[in-house]
Amino acid sequence: MITDETIEFAYTWFSTGVRHIENQSMNLGLAYLDKSTAVFSEIGDERMLTYSRHYKMLGLKLDERFEEAQSLFADIMAGYQRLDEEYGKALALTHLGECVRGQGQQARAIGHFHLATFIADHSELNDLLDYIHSQYALACLDLEDLYHAAKLLQRAEALAESRGRHDDLNRHLQLRAEIMVRMGEVAEATMLLEDVKNRLFKQERFTEAVEPLNWLRHLYERSGMVEDVNRTKEMLHMCGQLVLQQESTTRGTWYIGPPISQRAA
């Protein structure tokens, strides 16, 4: 028989497991989630059992253990069906699509992203839609469907900006700029990268500003724009100095995607 103390421990194990996954300690995180899952299953706590399984799927996906992650999907979806949680269904489908894409099955992945988009649109889950669009766009990009990928990212940008999610917006803008380069739209790509760079400088995110600056330097060199090349090089040098100053106090963050539960969104 499970005691009240064990049930309390299960909630602690769950929180600890999630924290380890967020900090990239996958094996520890998965071990704690396995312990919490066993207790939640025994006491019939459907909500926490589903969340625990879903976080395990997320951890396995991030660790690129795609087959193991996919094996949890049916139970997770059944749990969300019983809980009547559309947010969880849409996110689980998105994670499944990411796993399938990671195995090189882009057409199947697009099917999962399409269904996730339908659920999120129907339930007005704008907290989730920009993430789904961005993952959908990556699958289209794999298939060289550049136009569709760019359109999906534009939708993702609008949603992220409307909700003040600056990190997501910067990611979407930079990826679309890279697509524009592949489409030969260098002027638009340059404009997008300058926008990202300015946003990151304003937020004092100098480490992250290095990548768009390198892209800009490359594009300006291609176009023979010497003054802009020199300006970009000076900014890269300045970033290097500022990053060294911040290094002792600033840690980078690892993006794992939206929270499992809409309550935390």
pLDDT, tens digit (0-9, with 9 covering 90-100), for 127-167? 899 999 999 999 999 999 999 999 999 999 999 999 888 88
Q: What is the mean pLDDT of the chain?
A: 91
Q: What is the DSSP letter of 3?
A: -
Three-state DSSP at 6 gives helix
CA atoms within 13 Å, Cβ hemisphere of 215: 26
Write out the H or E segment, with its range, that includes residue 133: helix 126-142
What's the rounded mean pLDDT across residues 110-125? 96
Burial of 5 (0-12, 13-18, 19+ CB in 10 A): exposed
Residue 242: band (very low, low, confident or very high) from pLDDT cuts 50, 70, 90:
confident
Burial of 237 (0-12, 13-18, 19+ CB in 10 A): exposed
Q: What is the DSSP letter of 62?
A: H
Measure the CA–CA gap between 102 and 95, rounded to whole angstroms.
Answer: 10
Residue 250: band (very low, low, confident or very high) from pLDDT cuts 50, 70, 90:
very low
pLDDT at 240: 80
pTM of the entire predicted model: 0.86
Is-contact 252 215, C-beta < 8 A?
no
Is-contact 63 56, C-beta < 8 A?
no
What tokens appear for 145 in the block? 């469907």
Is-contact 137 153, C-beta < 8 A?
yes
Residue 259: band (very low, low, confident or very high) from pLDDT cuts 50, 70, 90:
confident
What's the rounded mean pLDDT across residues 189-210? 91
Residue 192: band (very low, low, confident or very high) from pLDDT cuts 50, 70, 90:
very high
Measure the CA–CA gap between 89 and 119, rounded to whole angstroms.
Answer: 8
DSSP per position, 7-40:
HHHHHHHHHHHHHHHHTT-HHHHHHHHHHHHHHH
Residue 263: band (very low, low, confident or very high) from pLDDT cuts 50, 70, 90:
low
CA dihedral (133, 136, 137, 142) in degrees, to 10, reads: 170
Phi and psi at 178, nearest 5°, equal: -65, -35
Say if residue 172's pLDDT is above 90: yes
Measure the CA–CA gap between 159 and 157, rounded to whole angstroms.
Answer: 5
- Look at 110 and 207; give whichever has higher pLDDT: 110
pLDDT at 246: 56
pLDDT at 248: 46
